[in-house]
Structure 1
Amino acid sequence: MKFKPNHLAVGVLLALSATAFVANAQTVRIANQGDTMSLDPHSLNESLQLSVTGNAYEGLVGHDKKLGLTPALATSWKQTSPTVWRFELRKGVLFHDGTPFTADDVLFSLARATGDGSDMKSYTNDIKEVRKVNDHTVDIETLTPFPILPDVLSLVYIMSKKWCETNQATKPVDRRKGIENAASFRANGTGPYRVRERQPNVKTTFVRNGSYWGKIEGNVQEVVFTPIGNDATRVAALLSGEVDLMEPVPVQDIERVNASPTNKVLTGPELRTIFLGMDQKRDELLFSSVKGKNPFKDKRVRQAFYQAIDIAGIQRTVMRGASRPTALMVGPGINGWTAEQDKRLPYDPDAAKKLLTDAGYPNGFEVTMNCPNDRYVNDGRICQTVAANLARIGVKINLAVETKNTYFPKILRRDTSFYMLGWTPATYDAHNALNALMACVDDKGAGQFNLGSYCNPKVDELTKKIQSETDKAKRTAMIKEAFELHANDIGHLPLHQQTLAWGLNKKLDVVQRADNFLDFKWISVK
């Protein structure tokens, strides 16, 4: 069958052609299946958004090519007491508009990231107070000892207090409510690249920051980031030379791209875990045929769903081997993961059917499942397969698949009964997943992405102890216990860790981080 692009795809390719470099070999055109939803660095805790905006904004600390912690806007940090961290700030740093970076910007940004509308509260929920010592020194006091605070702050990007006040952007863009402000469409950070132009869902153009405080190793002067949702169009754009780098490469096209004389696929394990969540709080589900009660409050129902999912089949037919089935909410590479615990319950439709019958649903029930179709590798197809698996035990899934631009605001409002999510712990430590995904939900940021409101007070108690424990053996034992409790509860339905697949022109040198962040400063054109 001959591929026939739709009108949108043609428009995307024309837009890419218009930005194609004729003589300038230092322009790089990047395509992704989705767009960053905003330029506001506090508006959405999603890795694509943080990766893209992280080229214009920076945190107090950053990560090197191997994900080690490295100085960024802070040159050093130390604990002055068990609950106080002192950060020495970098001098001579300018925001893109020429405003000097000072301690006032740190105080403002951490308060902004904690405020209404922020999606970064799970990173700041244990900060008690931020104090200015002088123009280039701040103290951050936490509620309890917090030995991994520098790691936690790596994705809390610093904004200009003056710029936000001048542009009425003192509060984050609230994606749940559809509220926008100047920070949605403009960026004023300290990072190695400036935003020159932003056209949502069309393209975002970055240019090299000539006044950057640090070293930019690559030679790229301009980056044009374009969303191309259609897999075939994205692959065609790479093979035709319309784009220089794109991701993800559909698993079925990896061999084809590698066979191209000018392109290759860069693959590697990703730290992200893909899982399904269920509303375990409401007395009646919002979107289900069951009235007067919530079937997901019954562990037998949750376990039935788990054991009805043929994860090996998904790995084989949907992911074509480019995934690693998991029983945990974190994978290899995350501190606290152990192979010993990473053993899934067996796929067993008969056992699942019996569990449903024992729970009082011998004929199953209907429930709506919310899924994105442009965020994770083969996300829509995974959800279709899960729906087909569940049909075998009598559960009718009403599948609601949509672009992440509308999907995330919906599920972040908890306007869902059954949903898909992916998570990469920003600290590369199990505490991050425990605090954001498994902790009982509060109004300060704990459980901010626990969208089904799973709650086990014992897991909460362990999570708080894990945060402050400095003895590695004790801490590891507590992580293991917390994971065991969550697994026994069937708190979520973990699926797999997906494999990274970036397609790129062979003339590019790039650094592929396991958290799927792409740093423009490390891209070079040969």
Structure 2
Amino acid sequence: MKLVFRCAALAAALSTAGLAAAQTLRIASPGDTISLDPHAAVNESVQYSLTSNVYEPLVGRNKDLSLAPLLSTGWRQTAPTVWQFALRAGVKFQDGAPLAADDVVFSIERAARAGLLPGVAGARAVVGRTVDIETRQPQPLLPDALTEIGILPRAWAQSHDPAREANGTGPYAVRERVPGSRTVFERFAGYWGSVEGNVQRVVFTPQPDAAARVAGLLKDGFDLVEPVPVADAAKVKASGEARVVTGPELRTIFLGMDQWRDELPNASVKGRNPFKDVRVRQAFYQAIDIEAITKKVQQGAARPAALIVGPGINGWTAALDKRLAFDAKAAKALLAEAGYPEGFALTLNCPSDRYVNDAAVCRAIGEQLGRIGVRVQVAVESKQTYFPRLLRRDTGFYLLGWTPGTYDAAAALEALAQCRTEGADAGGYNVGGYCNPALDALLERLGRETDRARRNQLLGEALALHARDVGHIPLYQQSLSWGVANDAQVVQLPDNRFVFKWMKK
């Protein structure tokens, strides 16, 4: 369904619609955002990348990823479990309503209910333009966690559908949305802050076909495309029309395995779950030739990983980042020792339009596991249905990528590896149900620890424990590769976000 916003107040604010086409930036990426809701439980980075231009958090980030004041001008810890945030004056939502403390309280509690703020007990307005956020235990990284939480107006959100409409305080507003086809953003004339770039209009197009994205870039159909396949990088560079902007990405790609059900779903083994045995998990790990995948499938544009976080994430160290050796013979022996000498059959679920060469990576993994007797059916689907599948836990073996929003390893472990308990907000993306109480105890201590050196020591212990358990199978960090038209200027961040206010055309 085509969604066009014609609210009179919003139309007045978006007075830039008639500006020259030269100030329109056209972006193409493999997939579309699943929702416009900044608190959608899908927690997917394309969604954050787009909606963060519309909805602003209390705390943002600078170009070097350091913390920056946005809707809050300052914050402090007033008690071990209470953070206080001073709200910026003169801020309006795109429908003209002023930002109020009640909107912040509503948004924080809404995000907490969605599982986006584990450990947050609630929020309350206090004297003046300030808001207190209370946590269940000390959270020294709460300001970092809040960089992912956009603020919505309470009254508007309760009478509209934020998944289909948008109304934030950010520098760009959604002017038109045709899901699966395009989303159009226009500069919000009533924005409280400064905008470094000159882009007045952004047209985002989901284009899953890599060849079509590159052709559009070279034929003046797009100004920014991502990712550019390694095989096409030379063509883009030689075109004279565009350039390739590359850099490391913070996201780690890994495999998850069901470890909580007594019978592995979508598998030939009945009445048992092989992944509950660490020998089986290790066998899968050692059967994967990650060097072949990074060199042949990713054509060198990926770095093998041994942890679920990589360089640039606090807690990562080179000393810990040592993969188990690729050894198909040892892997087959481990399977036999675990009681599966002939292997077994199962399904590997994988997206087709989220990560670089995601489907091809899954197929390569399936072939490699076949060499140890594991018969893999690779089930590929669009991320529009894939991520809801993961949230339903309708998979026994899956591919996922993760960048912790706080750029701290504890956030990744809490989301992906903490024991998942009914009614608790930890382990929200622990789809496979890995659970080790010793790891949970380390994470609880990390939540209280404020000494940086001691905290880093605990992070190392937690990452090492998860690696020994083979809680997940880490694969690689992919490299960023953007194709950018010569007349466009962009800022590429290692979290792969599009920040419209820093772009020029």
Match in the other structure for 2:149: 156
CA distance in 2, matches of 1:48, 1:352: 36
CA distance in 2, matches of 1:186, 1:238: 29
1:496 maps to which of 465, 476, 481? 476
One-letter identity of the residue aligned with 1:41: P
Q: Tell whether 2:492 aligns with 1:521.
A: no
Match in the other structure for 2:3: none
CA distance in 2, matches of 1:426, 1:114: 15
Q: What is the TM-score normalised by the length of structure 1?
A: 0.91
Q: Tell whether 2:403 aligns with 1:405.
A: no
1:211 maps to which of 182, 186, 190? 190
1:28 maps to which of 25, 29, 36? 25
Match in the other structure for 1:233: 212
CA distance in 2, matches of 1:185, 1:292: 43
CA positional deviation for 1:22? 11
CA distance in 2, matches of 1:145, 1:183: 31
Structure 2 unmatched runs, 5+: 1-17
One-letter identity of the residue aligned with 2:158: E
CA distance in 1, matches of 2:385, 2:84: 40
Q: How does 1:257-296 map to 2 (within 5 A)?
A: 257-296=236-275
CA positional deviation for 1:452? 0.2
Match in the other structure for 2:35: 38
CA distance in 2, matches of 1:265, 1:368: 36
Match in the other structure for 2:424: 444
Bigger drift between 77-86 and 133-142 goes to 133-142
Q: Tell whether 2:471 aligns with 1:479.
A: no
One-letter identity of the residue aligned with 1:377: V
Q: Tell whether 2:133 aligns with 1:140.
A: yes
Bigger drift between 133-142 and 36-45 goes to 133-142
Q: Tell whether 2:158 aligns with 1:165.
A: yes
Tell me, what secondary structure is at the counterpart of 2:294? helix
CA distance in 1, matches of 2:142, 2:125: 17
One-letter identity of the residue aligned with 1:88: A
One-letter identity of the residue aligned with 1:451: V
One-letter identity of the residue aligned with 1:402: E
**Is this contact kept in 2: 1:51–1:518, CA < 8 A?**
yes
Q: How does 1:303-322 map to 2 (within 5 A)?
A: 303-322=282-301
One-letter identity of the residue aligned with 2:187: R
CA positional deviation for 1:202? 0.4
One-letter identity of the residue aligned with 2:356: V
**Is this contact kept in 1: 2:19–2:200, CA < 8 A?**
no
- Which portions of structure 1, spanning 4 or more consecutive aligned residues, are displaced by more than 6 angstroms? none
Tell me, what secondary structure is at the counterpart of 1:470? coil
**Is this contact kept in 1: 2:309–2:412, CA < 8 A?**
yes
CA distance in 2, matches of 1:230, 1:387: 23
Tell me, what secondary structure is at the counterpart of 1:105? helix
Q: Tell whether 2:334 aligns with 1:336.
A: no
CA positional deviation for 1:444? 2.8
CA positional deviation for 1:129? 2.4
CA positional deviation for 1:162? 1.0
Tell me, what secondary structure is at the counterpart of 1:370? strand
CA positional deviation for 1:135? 5.3
CA distance in 1, matches of 2:176, 2:104: 26
Deviations along 1:157-190, one digit per CA (max 9) or x if unpaired, are 11110101222xxxxxxxxxxxxxx212210000
Tell me, what secondary structure is at the counterpart of 2:380? strand
Match in the other structure for 1:470: 450
CA distance in 1, matches of 2:155, 2:260: 42
**Is this contact kept in 1: 2:184–2:204, CA < 8 A?**
yes
Q: Tell whether 2:326 aligns with 1:347.
A: yes
Match in the other structure for 1:461: 441
CA distance in 2, matches of 1:445, 1:66: 30
* CA separation of 1:287 and 1:218: change in aligned 2, threshold 3 A: same
Match in the other structure for 2:6: none
1:53 maps to which of 51, 54, 69? 51
Tell me, what secondary structure is at the counterpart of 2:250? strand
Deviations along 1:446-478, one digit per CA (max 9) or x if unpaired, are 111111010000100111111221111211111
CA positional deviation for 1:114? 2.3
Tell me, what secondary structure is at the counterpart of 1:235? helix
CA distance in 2, matches of 1:129, 1:384: 44
CA distance in 2, matches of 1:211, 1:76: 22
**Is this contact kept in 2: 1:103–1:134, CA < 8 A?**
no
Bigger drift between 124-133 and 299-308 goes to 124-133
Q: What is the TM-score normalised by the length of structure 2?
A: 0.95
Q: Quick one: percent identity of the two aligned structures?
A: 57
Tell me, what secondary structure is at the counterpart of 1:508? coil
* CA separation of 1:161 and 1:361: change in aligned 2, threshold 3 A: same
Q: Tell whether 2:83 aligns with 1:85.
A: yes
Structure 1 unmatched runs, 5+: 1-20, 168-181
CA distance in 2, matches of 1:509, 1:231: 22
**Is this contact kept in 1: 2:27–2:222, CA < 8 A?**
yes
Deviations along 1:25-61, one digit per CA (max 9) or x if unpaired, are 1001100000011101111211110010000001110
**Is this contact kept in 2: 1:104–1:135, CA < 8 A?**
no
Between the two proteins, the alignment pairs up a number of residues equal to 486
